[in-house]
Amino acid sequence: MDRQPGHDTRTVRLAMLQARAEPLALTENLALVDASALEAREAGADLLLTPELFATGYAPTLIAESVSAASVAGAHESLRAIAANRGIALAFSLPGPGPADEREITATLVDKTGTVILGYAKSHLFGPAERSSFRPGAEAPRVAELLGLRMALLICYDVEFPETVRAAALRGAQVVLVPTALAAGYENVARVLVPARALENSLIVAYSNHVGVEDGLELAGASVVAGPDGNLLVDAGSASGLVYADLSVPDVDVDYLADRRPGLYRAWEQNRTTEET
């Protein structure tokens, strides 16, 4: 895996949406994504990242009770059409297909023609509302090239576990896109953990959140983009709207992936297991 600087000068202009969604108002929420895609493309963006479950609003219990598989399928096609009509790649999150009691929380990346490039199902569900409304995913994040960069998807709570971003990094990711629904009071996730994940894996993490109150939950905003040096390229604060960051192949001083000693770590784990028995 080539992580050295100077091999690719391609820059991708990323737009991130930070806004309030109206729970269960799919038509209105999709219209906001469409308007944001148009605005982002006119500003020169190549890719728009939107928050977790934005089309439905972040309301796990209401989604389980009221959002049909047909509505999910319709929203998925509408989002693909937005990408194609506006000529911009798009990363979005929806409930998974199928019956409500079998659904995961998913993220999808499509290119500017609306063609699906990547899909992912959230592997770490947060809190009782999510755990009673969705199933956790089990598949590792996949990596695909888009716009000259190798990209992966994670969702919200996933990024708080070092194993998830490391799994994407070991598969060659240079950028990890994270739709999220981070509650107010947890801003250190965005401003401490997200930069740490970027730094320890020598990649870029883009983290797009809701802001405002949805279904009684106050969401934090604090959408960020963290570079491979751990510094924030963007911090959206509490404002609604679009923020932008220019992404390129990560240029790293210390390559933690190259210096890992996985055989040693396996031995440590085996010794721990032996010590416990």
Predicted TM-score (pTM) of this structure: 0.94
Report the pLDDT value the prediction gives residue 95, as an integer from 0 to 100.
Answer: 98
Report the pLDDT value the prediction gives residue 3, as an integer from 0 to 100.
Answer: 36
Residue-wise DSSP of the chain? ----TTS----EEEEEEE-PPPTT-HHHHHHHHHHHHHHHHHTT-SEEE--TTTTT-S-HHHHHHH--HHHHHHHHHHHHHHHHHHT-EEEEEEEPSS-GGG--EEEEEE-TT--EEEEEE-SS--HHHHHHH-PPP-SPPPEEEETTEEEEE--GGGGGSHHHHHHHHHTT-SEEEEE--PBTT-HHIIIIIHHHHHHHHTSEEEEE--EEEETTEEEE---EEE-TTS-EEEE-TT--EEEEEEE-S---SS-HHHH--HHHHHHHHHHHHHHH-
The whole-angstrom separation of Cα 165 and Cα 7 is: 23
The alpha-carbon radius of gyration of the chain (Å, integer) is 18
The whole-angstrom separation of Cα 5 and Cα 12 is: 16
| Pairing relationship of beta strands 143-146 and 116-121 according to DSSP bridges | unpaired
Which amino acids are annotated catalytic?
A: 52, 122, 156
Tokens matching residue 72: 């999910």
CA neighbor of 88 nearest in space, from 129, 28, 51, 36: 36
Report the pLDDT value the prediction gives residue 9, as an integer from 0 to 100.
Answer: 56
| Pairing relationship of beta strands 232-235 and 224-226 according to DSSP bridges | antiparallel
| Pairing relationship of beta strands 211-214 and 217-220 according to DSSP bridges | antiparallel
| Sequential pLDDT tens for the chain (277 residues) | 233 333 445 799 999 999 999 999 999 999 999 999 999 999 999 999 999 999 999 999 999 999 999 999 999 999 999 999 999 999 999 999 999 999 999 999 999 999 999 999 999 999 999 999 999 999 999 999 999 999 999 999 999 999 999 999 999 999 999 999 999 999 999 999 999 999 999 999 999 999 999 999 999 999 999 999 999 999 999 999 999 999 998 888 888 999 999 999 999 999 987 888 6
